[in-house]
């Protein structure tokens, strides 16, 4: 007696078959874009090949595995202060690349020159070590531009500086108004459920509302809301404040590095004009059809990769696939450029 097909599972045999409940409505809404899109395609053969390769690597113990949470560049004291610090980290976790032919923003920390995400994390850790209480909601509400400039001091300027100041103040304000200054209260209100916490972030923290529209359809990505939950889980090693239910219901986090890696594996293919724009590091407008298609196809390419690995007997979550691809993207100098969309969402 085979199990009855749950009502949310697709019956028709389309390539983008829904095999999870998709409580965040991300897979369903992005599937429309994948089906209608004319600028970005998913190559199913390449997905099967990558799935086979990863399953073989894993069986030979080469598994990239989810590395331990980094504590060299992340503030981590195991208390509610760390939870607030991580919320701030991910409220500012976007868009680290420089204008065309300009040097990236970097900082020096512990005699190392860091850029991108690692520079952001280390800058926020350095600030706490220098006595700036970034875990204090009250303090964040009136964070000055001078203080923020000092926090992110380094070579060149961190992009979208003004927006980052506004996001930090918004985090403080919303924490005070709704959660008595502690994001741990939000975790408890979400009953320690990953999906509920992502939806709470979307509802209460405007800068996290990463939702687009595409030919009249609403398209949900919620990248920073989802990575906030994943980072709290990572920092607390899945225990205590990091012990969430339904974490396997999260999708990958649609940033600018995953599409770059998926294109390098020929899993994503770009229409000629779009490929030229990206290879020339020209800007792609936020909310444009091209940008939404890149992000939607990234999400579905990873979902199809997950399904393909499962058919090969290897159960992984979207977060496992995300981490593996993102780490590959940290060594992406040889790859074709990632797409340039100036946005606060990723």
The residue nearest ligand 56B at its CB is 116
Is 255 among the residues known to form the active site? yes
Q: Which residues are registered as beta bridge partners of 220?
A: 211
DSSP state of 185: H
Q: Which residues are registered as beta bridge partners of 268?
A: 42
DSSP states along 286-321: TT-HHHHHHHHHHHHHHHHHHHHHHHTT----HHHH
d(CA 112, CA 122): 10
| Residue selected from 22, 210, 231, 303 as contacting ligand 56B according to rule CB under 6 A | 231
| Closest of 19, 37, 22, 43 to residue 268, by C-alpha | 43
| Residues 276-335, interacting with ligand 56B (CB under 6 A) | 322-323, 326, 330
Determine the 3-state secondary structure of 217 from DSSP: strand
- Look-up of token digits 């691809």: 325
| Residue selected from 255, 290, 303, 320 as contacting ligand 56B according to rule CB under 6 A | 255
251 close to 16: Cβ distance less than 8 angstroms: no
Catalytic-labelled residue, pool 22, 210, 231, 255: 255
Residues 96-125, buried b or exposed e (16+ Cβ, 10 A)?
bbbeeeeeebbbebeeeebbebbbbbbbbb
| Residue selected from 50, 114, 258, 296 as contacting ligand 56B according to rule CB under 6 A | 258
Measured from the CB of residue 226, what is the shortest distance to ligand 56B in angstroms?
Answer: 9
Measured from the CB of residue 133, what is the shortest distance to ligand 56B in angstroms?
Answer: 23
- Binding window for ligand 56B (CB under 6 A); candidates: 45-53, 253-261, 272-280, 289-297: 253-261
Per-residue mark of binding to ligand 56B, 180-219 (x: CB under 6 A): ----------------------------------------
| Residue selected from 54, 75, 256, 300 as contacting ligand 56B according to rule CB under 6 A | 256
| Residues 85-104, interacting with ligand 56B (CB under 6 A) | 93-94, 96
Residue closer to ligand 56B (CB basis): 17 or 104: 104
| Residue selected from 116, 159, 240, 286 as contacting ligand 56B according to rule CB under 6 A | 116
DSSP state of 214: E
| Residue selected from 125, 257, 306, 340 as contacting ligand 56B according to rule CB under 6 A | 257
| Closest of 227, 263, 190 to residue 345, by C-alpha | 227
- For residue 193 the two structure tokens come to 């459920």
d(CA 248, CA 244): 10
Per-residue mark of binding to ligand 56B, 117-156 (x: CB under 6 A): x---------------------------------------
Catalytic positions, written as ranges: 255
Contact footprint for ligand 56B (CB under 6 A)? 69-70, 93-94, 96, 116-117, 227, 230-231, 234, 252-253, 255-258, 322-323, 326, 330, 346
């Amino acid at each position: 007696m085979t199990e009855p097909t749950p009502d949310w599972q697709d019956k028709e045999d389309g390539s983008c078959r829904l095999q999870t409940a998709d409580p965040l409505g991300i897979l369903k809404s992005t599937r429309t874009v994948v089906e209608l899109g004319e600028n970005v395609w998913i190559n199913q053969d390449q997905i099967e090949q990558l799935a086979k390769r990863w399953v073989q690597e894993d069986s030979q113990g080469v598994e990239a595995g989810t590395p331990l949470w980094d504590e060299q560049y992340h503030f981590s004291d195991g208390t509610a202060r760390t939870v607030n610090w991580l919320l701030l980290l991910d409220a500012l976790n976007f868009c680290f690349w420089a204008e065309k032919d300009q040097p990236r923003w970097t900082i020096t920390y512990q005699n190392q020159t860091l850029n991108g995400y690692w520079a952001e994390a280390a800058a926020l850790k350095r600030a706490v070590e220098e006595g700036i209480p970034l875990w204090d909601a009250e303090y964040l509400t009136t964070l000055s531009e001078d203080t923020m400039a000092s926090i992110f001091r380094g070579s060149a300027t961190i992009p979208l500086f003004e927006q980052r100041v506004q996001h930090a103040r918004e985090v403080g304000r919303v924490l005070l108004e709704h959660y008595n200054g502690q994001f741990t209260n939000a975790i408890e209100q979400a009953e320690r459920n990953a999906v509920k916490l992502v939806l709470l972030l979307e509802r209460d923290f405007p800068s996290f509302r990463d939702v687009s529209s595409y030919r009249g359809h609403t398209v949900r990505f919620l990248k920073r809301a989802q990575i906030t939950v994943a980072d709290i889980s990572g920092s607390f090693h899945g225990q205590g404040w990091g012990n969430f239910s339904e974490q396997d219901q999260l999708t990958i986090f649609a940033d600018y590095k995953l599409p770059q890696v998926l294109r390098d594996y020929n899993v994503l293919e770009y229409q000629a004009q779009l490929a030229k724009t990206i290879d020339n590091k020209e800007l792609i407008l936020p909310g444009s059809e091209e940008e939404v298609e890149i992000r939607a196809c990234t999400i579905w390419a990873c979902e199809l990769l997950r399904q393909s690995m499962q058919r090969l007997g290897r159960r992984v979550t979207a977060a496992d696939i995300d981490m593996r691809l993102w780490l590959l993207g940290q060594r992406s100098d040889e790859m074709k450029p990632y797409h340039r969309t100036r946005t606060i969402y990723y």
